[in-house]
Amino acid sequence: MKTVNSMKLSFLSKSVNESFARAAVAAFLLPLDPTVAELADVKTAVSEAVTNAIVHAYPEGYGTVYIEASLTDTGKAIIKIRDKGVGIPDIERAMEPLYTTSSDERAGLGFAVMQSFTDRVRVRSTVGKGTTVTLEKNILRASYGQKRAD
């Protein structure tokens, strides 16, 4: 599996940047010729991961959220959403559906949505150092768009 394209972006952990983040990742995926449904799945999963970082990572103020995305020659999109915030003490618990530490009417479905809307979700976190969420999505028609991705 070879990486054929990659991108990095970073932005302040302000909620107004949630739409920018998912739109940027969606635009990056376009050369793989995703279906409307695949693109919506990725946008939704990215929005959840970015929102988690914005809501939880920097409780004392704003920090930076980093996104790294790559496309492989097998048509897989790999998207890493990373922060250098407080970290998650208990990842297993945080990933339970309906679990939320926020009082702001959050549904507690963030990780459930990420898992349902992508093919693989990995979470690595160290308390006091930050969290990385890696999303993988296979774009099924990718062979049609491969030339453009190259």
Binding site for other proteins (CB under 8 A): 15-16, 18-19, 22, 36-37, 40-41, 43-44, 47-48, 51, 54-55, 104-107, 109-110, 112-113, 116-117
What secondary structure does DSSP assign to 43-104, as a single string? Answer: HHHHHHHHHHIIIII-TTS--EEEEEEEEETTSEEEEEEEE-SS--S-HHHHTSTT-----S
Identify which of residues 1 and 98 has a Cβ nearer to other proteins in the complex: 98
**Does the active-site annotation cover 106?**
yes
CB of 52 to other proteins, least distance (A): 9
Among candidate residues 74, 76, 72, the one with its CA nearest the CA of residue 137: 76
| Catalytic one of 5, 17, 68, 106 | 106
Catalytic residue among 18, 22, 38, 52: 52
What whole-number distance in Å separates Cα of residue 37 and Cα of residue 97? 23
Closer residue to other proteins in complex, CB, 18/33: 18
Least distance (Å) from other proteins to the CB of residue 64? Answer: 17
Residues tagged active-site: 48, 52, 106
